[in-house]
Each structure stands twice: as C-alpha cells, then as structure tokens.
A and B are shown apart, each in its own frame.
Chain A
Amino acid sequence: MSKPLEVLLLDDEPIVGRRLKPALDKIGCHVEIFESPIEAVARIDQKEFDIVVTDIRMEEMNGLQVFEHVKKKWPRTKVIIITGYAKMDLAREAMEKGIFDFIAKPFRPDDLRQIIARAAQALGTPIDLSLIKD
C-alpha cells in the first residue's frame, strides 16, 4: 500500500476543515486541520507536508505569507490557496509567484479533490479519484 499524501489544511472558518477533512480522507490523504495560521506554520516547521491548502484571508497571517514560509522551508510542497470571489486578483498574483493552484469559495469538495489529484500527480504519487465512495 502506498504512503498516504500528507495534507495540511488551514482555514480560520471551522466549517472548511470540518467539511473537507472527511472528503480528503476518502482519497487516501492524511489530513491535519488548523484554524490558526501561527499554529499551522509551527507545524510546518516540524513536518514536511506534500500539500498545504490554505485560506488567503486570515487575521494573524495571510495565505500568501504562509505560502512564502512553506516555499522557503519545503520547496517540494505544493500549495493550494482557497479564496473568495473578492480576492481572485490576489490569487492570480499568487499563481505567478508559484502556488500550485487556487480555488474560489463556495466550492464542492470534489473540486478540491481534482486539484489535489493533479498536485499528487505532479509530486509523482498519483491518486485514483475513481475509487471514491461517497
């Protein structure tokens, strides 16, 4: 059995982690959820995640700062940004800086799973989305 994808999920809205974790578990990800960017960054310092999914707008630290931190510490890690409609320009700017992709709220869990599958492919550890049982 292949090693599960290590995913860190950061969003200060509790609903995001609560709803996304089960959806990502289903595709064989091992997910750690955080609502505080400070705590998430502390965890990133300790552990190399395959994928970091982060909200862009948070009070203590924004998603781009989290991305910069990940990029410096773990260049291999793929970062996906969650954004609202109002922040689409910022997300596009982040794409130019090297984030893997972004997704705008509201979205379906499957939309994120598709992006994670592409990120997994890029990391050389492809996952099979057809195995999902909802």
Chain B
Amino acid sequence: MDYSMLCRVIQGEVIMGIFEKFKKFTRKEPGIKKFCIQTIRFRKLLENARGLLALLADGNEKVLGEYILDRHYVTSLVDSTVERLGMIIYDACVLAPEFGETLYMQYDKHKRRAGELISQNGIRDKKNMADDTNISSDPEYELLSDVLTWLNGESSDPGATVIDFMRQTFVRVLKHLDAGNNSKVELLLANNISKAPGSNMFLLDLWEDAVAPSAKPHSLDDIKCIPLKLLLMDTDGGNLSPLVDDKNKTATWIATSSEYQLSLKILEPDCSFHLEATVSGHERSDFIFIFADASINTENILPQGFLTETTDYGKLAWKLDATSKAIEDSLISIGRNLSQKNV
C-alpha cells in the first residue's frame, strides 16, 4: 500500500470514527441528556452562590477595621457581587425559565442599588476631606458597611438584600425542579434505566449516560463516584429512607454522579430532598449542600458543622471550607442517617 493510499485509509477511518461517535451522540435520549445538563447547571448555580458567599465573608472580615483598604477594594466588591449575582440569575433562568422576567427585574433593581452605592462613595469622600480626622468615619469603611447592608443586612422587604434574593432564587429553582419528579421516573423507565440491583436508587453517570444511557442498570459495586461510595458506606445495600410519613413505602432516589461529584435527590411527588457534594481532596472545592423541604426533620440527618437557612419552602444547609476529612465524615454520617427508616 503506497503512502497516499495509507493516508486515505487513515483519513477514512478517522472520518468514520467521528461519524460513529456522532451517530452515538445523536442516538442518546434527549430527556436523559437534559436531566444531566440540568444537574450540571444546578451545580454551576451552587458554585456561583459559593462565590457570592465568599465575597460577603471577605467584606465582613475587612469591615472589622483591621485592614488598610481603599475605594478600589469596595467598588471591586460591588462589581464582583453584581457580576456573580448575574451568573446566579442566568443559571436560575436556564433551570426555571418561567421566572426569567421576575428574576431579571429584581436583578436590575440590585444593579441600580449597586450603582447608587458607588456614586455615593464620591459624595462621602468630599465630605471626609472637608472636616474629618476620625478613623471610625473613614469613608471607605462607611461605604463598605453600606455595601454589606445591601448584601445581607436587616430588611423586611423580601429580596431587598442580595443574599435574600439569592435565597429566594434558590427556592424558586428547587420548586421548579421538584415539580417534575413523577415525569423523571417515567423518563428513566422509558429509557430502560432501572434501579441498581438490590437498591431503591437509580444511578446515572453524569457524562456517559448523558451521551448514551447504559443499557443495563449500574450496580452499586461499580460505583466510581467517591462521594457516593462514602454516602453508601454504612447503608444497608444502598436503600435510603422514603423520608415521608409512610415509612414502609419504597421511595425512589436518583444519584447522578461523576468521579468526584454527586447529585442525589428523592423522586417522590410530595417530598423534596437534594444533596450535592464534591469530594476531590481539594479543600477549596469540596462541599456538601442539602435542601430538605419543611416536612423533613433535618436534625435527624445533618451532622454537626452545617450552616443552615430556613425558608418557607424548607431548609438550606451547607458545609464549605472544611477539611476533606470533615466532608467525608459528614457524608458517611448523612448516608447512615438517610438509611434509617425513622428519619
């Protein structure tokens, strides 16, 4: 075979290879792919929320008065907040498009408030130059204090602070995602996806099943996902609680996972429980996030060290900035608690 023919054969094989992959890609069921994309987008939303909480924590640390900071720091904090909040709203609108107009209207209000805060800076600075020698009234610190009030101060007006707006947005998204729990089970069954043998849980590989759902059910023994392994370590064959009043009911769960990430949720019409976790050994990226609706007693589920926020719809709980060991231990405890019928 001469060189040019060899090239043609190789090119042909390459083209055929791409074509086969393309065929495989287009053969996938759009519903499963959509579900996986939704899972990834929700994690993006969490990542952006984490970024926003980090900005708030940084501002809270700086406002204590120990730091030398300038206007640039405060305006950067405001800009970064607006940018991060914008990402959250974008994610939320992708996940729950029906709230798009409402969310963007509220976001615009926050952008306007941010603009007012920054322009207020100039006024305060002039005032300061005129007659101020008192350290406690440095205009930079006064502005930072105002910015933190906008971020997470006391307000009776729902959504008036950035953090409350973020909280409301989360609740809207979670409600939307939970609304289709029945159809998700139907979707999985329609794609011949069955629960892991011996368990009440569907297992989906976030990347592989999005491209081509596996023909046979994933077994708990085949799990590559570190957080899921930890979660199921002390459970009885991967059977998790129904979390509803009827403890004898067999509830359906779904775990969508990759090597380091786990998205776990219950697929019941009257119950909402979400767990998102990353366990990669990198402390800055590892976390656990949980949402449990108001019917679930989270005291029986959550180990110590979680921050919580209660909303009308349920409780948000998260553990960030903890050691990898603490995250791992928490996941084992949560798994153990979720496998108890009395939770």
Decide whether A and B assemble into one complex: yes
Asked if B105 is at the interface of the complex by the 8 Å CB criterion, the answer is no
Q: Chain B residues with Cβ under 8 A from A16's Cβ?
A: 68, 70
In the complex the two chains form, what is the Cα distance from A15 to B62 in whole Å?
14
Q: Chain A residues with Cβ under 8 A from B140's Cβ?
A: 13, 15
Q: Chain B residues with Cβ under 8 A from A14's Cβ?
A: 128-129
Q: Chain A residues with Cβ under 8 A from B70's Cβ?
A: 13, 15-16, 84, 105-106
Asked if A19 is at the interface of the complex by the 8 Å CB criterion, the answer is yes
Q: Chain B residues with Cβ under 8 A from A18's Cβ?
A: 133, 135, 138
Q: Chain A residues with Cβ under 8 A from B62's Cβ?
A: 106
Asked if B154 is at the interface of the complex by the 8 Å CB criterion, the answer is no
CB of A106 within 8 A of CB of B69, answer yes
In the complex the two chains form, what is the Cα distance from A13 to B68 in whole Å?
10
Which residue of B has the minimal Cβ distance to A20?
B68
CB of B73 within 8 A of CB of A19, answer no
Q: Which of B68, B71, B72, B128 contacts A19 (CB 8 A)?
A: B68
List B32-77 residues whose CB lies under 8 Å from chain A: 62, 66-73, 76
Count chain A residues whose beta carbon lies closer than 8 angstroms to a beta carbon of B: 16
CB of B72 within 8 A of CB of A15, answer no
CB of A19 within 8 A of CB of B135, answer yes
CB of B72 within 8 A of CB of A84, answer yes
In the complex the two chains form, what is the Cα distance from A12 to B68 in whole Å?
13
Which residue of B has the minimal Cβ distance to A22?
B135
Looking at the assembled complex, report how far the CB atom of B265 sits from the nearest CB atom of chain A, in whole angstroms.
38
Asked if A108 is at the interface of the complex by the 8 Å CB criterion, the answer is yes
CB of A105 within 8 A of CB of B129, answer no
In the complex the two chains form, what is the Cα distance from A132 to B68 in whole Å?
18
List A1-54 residues whose CB lies under 8 Å from chain B: 13-16, 18-20
Q: Chain A residues with Cβ under 8 A from B66's Cβ?
A: 108-109
Interface centre among A14, A18, A85 (most CB of B within 10 A): A14
CB of A105 within 8 A of CB of B138, answer no
Q: Which of B68, B128, B135, B139 contacts A108 (CB 8 A)?
A: B68
* CB pairs A–B below 8 angstroms (5 shown): A15-B140, A15-B141, A105-B68, A106-B73, A109-B68
By a beta-carbon cutoff of 8 Å, the part of chain A in contact with chain B is: 13-16, 18-20, 84-86, 105-109, 112
Known: A15-B69, A86-B72. 4 other contacts (CB 8 A): A19-B138, A20-B68, A85-B76, A108-B68
Top 6 A-B pairs, shortest CB-CB distance: A106-B69, A106-B67, A13-B70, A15-B138, A106-B73, A84-B72
